[in-house]
């Protein structure tokens, strides 16, 4: 069966070298991250072999957290352009195996919108990945409107991925712990903090009326819905139209029409069951979170799913093919 994964990460040393050590902070300094550095930098070597070994047809690549948000605002546009050019160069000749989400200079939203359009039109990138907050601002802030407008016009999705927590949040929520090692600490990021913040981010977009303002916008989130499937019924009651928010539709209707989730980093059946019961099979796409998770883990999970073959096909490739226009 054709298998697509669309939260699969890259980080090129020639670009991370342009980021100051103070901007990086503790990110990437753990022994685990140092071991993953060669895997993040590789595209057509070990990565492609692992895809072949595990039957993965296409990976959609995106830059990890060491992106344009870590360089000075005035340098971010050139940094993002150079990075996107490099991604396009590295996947050239392998377009049947790799696609990409653009890296955007989020500190310059109008320029970011233009960069999104350039990469979609020139390189056939499939949308953009945005990581967390930008200068402590959520995406419901009006300054980011040009990005949503352009994504809707181009008919490409925005993938909202967790980002490093703002220092003020990290200092209050995640400091004072034994062996605390900064913002890369598991509690602040992949163990909990990332996911609750992304869920909050999506709910803010709903409450602010962003989905209604851009009704053709498609948003993707990973990690089996960033806790939202479990909270759907409770949040549905809180965010009813007329309860004080700008949203004109219910949470459920909005999410079914415009929000898509991936399985990235989740490899057990109970969370998938909740996601299926709330989001439905048409809104879920298979992903691995390579190289932070292994393709072997992902394929073992996929093979264990007890669903009809046509639904497995939607999960494995059909929904992604449709949303990202990967195969006509």
Structure confidence by residue, pLDDT tens digits, 273-308: 999 999 999 999 999 999 999 999 999 999 999 999
The answer on pLDDT for 24 being more than 90 is no
- Give the containing element (helix H, strand E) for 9: strand 4-10
- Tokens 């200092």 appear where? 171
Q: pLDDT tens across 96-107, in order? A: 999 999 999 999
DSSP code, position 127: -
Rounded to the nearest 5 percent, the helix, strand and coil shares of the chain are 50, 10, 40
Task: State the pLDDT at residue 243.
Answer: 93
Task: State the pLDDT at residue 25.
Answer: 65
Domain ranges of the chain: 4-324
The answer on pLDDT for 192 being more than 70 is yes
| Catalytic site positions | 289
The answer on pLDDT for 251 being more than 60 is yes
Yes or no: say if 274 and 229 are a contact pair by the CB < 8 Å rule.
yes
Instruction: Give the pLDDT band of residue 120 (cuts 50, 70, 90).
Output: very high
The answer on pLDDT for 23 being more than 80 is no
Which parts of 62-186 fold into alpha helices (H)? 76-91, 109-123, 145-154, 167-173
Topology of the domain covering 4-324:
TIM Barrel (3.20.20)
Yes or no: say if 264 and 7 are a contact pair by the CB < 8 Å rule.
yes
- Give the containing element (helix H, strand E) for 231: helix 228-238
Which parts of the chain fold into alpha helices (H)? 13-16, 21-24, 31-41, 46-54, 76-91, 109-123, 145-154, 167-173, 193-207, 210-213, 228-238, 251-258, 269-278, 295-303, 309-313, 319-324
Task: State the pLDDT at residue 184.
Answer: 56
């Amino acid at each position: 069966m054709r298998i697509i994964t669309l939260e699969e990460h890259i980080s090129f040393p020639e670009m991370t070298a342009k980021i100051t050590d103070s901007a990086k902070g503790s990110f990437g300094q753990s022994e685990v991250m140092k071991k993953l550095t060669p895997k993040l930098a590789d595209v057509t070597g070990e990565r492609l072999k692992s895809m072949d070994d595990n039957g993965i047809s296409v990976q959609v690549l995106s830059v990890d957290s060491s992106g344009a948000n870590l360089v000075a605002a005035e340098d971010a546009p050139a940094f993002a352009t150079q990075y996107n050019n490099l991604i396009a160069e590295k996947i050239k000749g392998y377009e049947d195996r790799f696609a990409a989400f653009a890296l955007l200079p989020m500190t310059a939203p109008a320029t970011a919108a233009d960069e999104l359009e350039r990469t979609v039109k020139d390189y056939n990138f499939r949308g953009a990945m945005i990581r967390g907050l930008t200068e402590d601002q959520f995406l419901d802030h009006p300054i980011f409107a040009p990005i949503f407008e352009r994504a809707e016009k181009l008919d490409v999705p925005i993938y909202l991925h967790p980002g490093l927590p703002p220092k003020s949040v990290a200092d209050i929520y995640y400091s004072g712990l034994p062996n605390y090692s900064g913002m890369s600490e598991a509690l602040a990021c992949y163990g909990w903090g990332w996911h609750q913040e992304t869920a909050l981010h999506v709910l803010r977009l709903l409450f602010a009326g962003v989905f209604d303002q851009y009704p053709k916008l498609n948003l993707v989130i990973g990690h089996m819905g960033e806790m939202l499937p479990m909270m759907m019924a409770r949040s549905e009651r809180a965010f009813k139209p007329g309860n004080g928010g700008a949203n004109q539709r219910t949470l459920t209707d909005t999410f079914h029409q415009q929000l898509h989730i991936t399985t990235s980093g989740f490899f057990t059946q109970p969370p998938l069951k909740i996601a299926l019961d709330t989001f439905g099979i048409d809104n879920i796409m298979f992903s691995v979170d390579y190289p932070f998770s292994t393709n072997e883990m992902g394929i073992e999970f996929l093979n264990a799913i007890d669903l009809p073959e046509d639904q497995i096909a939607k999960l494995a490739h059909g929904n992604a093919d449709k949303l990202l226009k990967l195969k006509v």
